[in-house]
Chains A and B, each alone.
Chain A
Amino acid sequence: MATAQAQLDTKWWSGGKSPFNVEYGKLMMWYFLMSDAFTFGAFLISYGTIRFSQNYWPDPNHVFNAFPGAGHANLPLAFVSLMTFILIISSVTMVLAVHAGHHMDKKGVIKWMAWTIVGGFAFLACQAWEWTHLITGHHAVLIDGKIQEIGTTVTHNPWGPYVPNLLHNGEPVSTTGPVAFGGYFFGITGFHGFHVFSGVVINIIMLLMTINGVFDRKGHYQMIEKAGLYWHFVDLVWVFVFLCFYLI
């Protein structure tokens, strides 16, 4: 508490001190994340604009209702909740790694960083499955008076309104939906997935540096904190991707 009081009484801008009381690298990581938040924000807002401009938009509970190994069972929100919890848990293991770093606990850092990396890979595997399922899962769609089987891609959207009273192999036939759906979904989840991937790569490098004792020699584990900021940001973005694409 003595430190806290000293902090309050300090004239931060009178020179000779670090006015924000953080390392340069950590401050710059914050500003990078702020700019990245605008990039993601711009993507999501552009998606919102297009969605608002359409008379019809596919219902996410209808599009994302599959679960690996569950066949054609209708399980809305199930798989994406799994992905969300994987990311939340990997965020928690990252905080624990940072916490272990504060205590110069090399073994703890190694253990929690390893779990964070496992979580990152698990999330990427889920996303790979989901993309594959969407692209290769064909649905009967009425195009120019003919029934065609198409999957969800950046140029095709089989999730339009159903054609009344028309069945094809026992399945209802739909019309084509707004083509922007696939582009925005694959674009934004892809950009997020790219962040997860780069986060996993950064975490692996941090893990190797920890194992090699680099931070012990430096005398601090601040690099783990910076990697941690990036990883939490990935989780933060997912909160909004989850909100915009799957929930509302």
Chain B
Amino acid sequence: MEHHVESSTEVTFHHPPGGSDTIKRIIKTTVLLSVITIIELGLGLWMYFLHKGEPSHGLILAIKGIIVILSLAKAFYIVSIFMHLGDEIRNLIMTIVVPLALFVWFIIAFLWEGDSWLNLRNTDGHSRPKTEQRAPEAKKPGVE
């Protein structure tokens, strides 16, 4: 096995190949990812049953928030354990992760934009007061 250490001059220190520890870590991560997914599905089904009644807007938003956080946790485990980014040198991790911070601005700015668009739509470009805001209701076909 030693010969593969010399084969690449691009790597100064080789990680020693992991043994049964690595397998254990993979199994642990798999279980974790599966459990998180099942919780997400459970929350999704809960929302489905809530939607049959008149759910409070705040509760739905809270469930969606939890699902987003759980998805971010899944993303962290996939990148850190399965893609072994957690085992790389800190400087390398930073060159990948720091640019992704742009997403913070990206998401806030564009969802804000979408909300503003909705506002303009419902007030005819602010020519109407916002209090009239309501979703257009479907007409009964027999009436027309």
A residues neighboring B (CB under 8 Å): 3, 6-7, 10, 12, 17-24, 27, 30-31, 34, 37-38, 41-42, 45-46, 48-56, 59, 61, 76-77, 81, 84-85, 88, 91-92, 94-96, 99, 102-104, 142, 145, 160-166, 173, 175, 218-220, 222, 228-229, 232-233, 235-236, 239-240, 242-243, 246-248
Q: How large is the interface on B (under 10, 10 to 19, 20 to 34, 35 or more residues)?
A: 35 or more
Q: A21-B92, A163-B139 are in contact. List 9 more A-B contacts (CB 8 A).
A: A22-B88, A22-B89, A37-B100, A48-B114, A61-B48, A76-B44, A85-B37, A92-B82, A239-B71
CA distance A218 to B8 in the complex (A): 10
Name A's interface SS. Answer: helix
Q: Is the CB of B22 within 8 A of A55?
A: no
Which residues of chain B in 108-127 are interfacial with respect to chain A, using CB atoms and an 8 Å cutoff? 110-111, 113-115, 117-118, 121-122
B58 beta carbon closer than 8 Å to chain A: no
Q: Is the CB of B37 within 8 A of A20?
A: no
Q: Is the CB of A220 within 8 A of B7?
A: yes
CA distance A111 to B139 in the complex (A): 60
Q: Is the CB of B135 within 8 A of A55?
A: yes
Q: Which residues of A contact B12 (CB under 8 A)?
A: 10, 17-18, 21
Q: Is the CB of A55 within 8 A of B140?
A: no
Q: Is the CB of B51 within 8 A of A59?
A: yes
Q: Is the CB of A247 within 8 A of B117?
A: no
Write out, one digit per residue, whether chain B residues 18-58 have a CB within 8 A of any chain A CB (1) or not (0). 10001100100010011001001101110110010000000
CA distance A242 to B3 in the complex (A): 44
Q: Is the CB of B114 within 8 A of A91?
A: no
Q: Which residues of A contact B23 (CB under 8 A)?
A: 96, 99
Q: Is the CB of B121 within 8 A of A55?
A: yes
Q: Is the CB of A46 within 8 A of B110?
A: yes
Among A10, A49, A96, which residue has its beta carbon within 8 angstroms of that of B113?
Answer: A49
CA distance A99 to B21 in the complex (A): 11
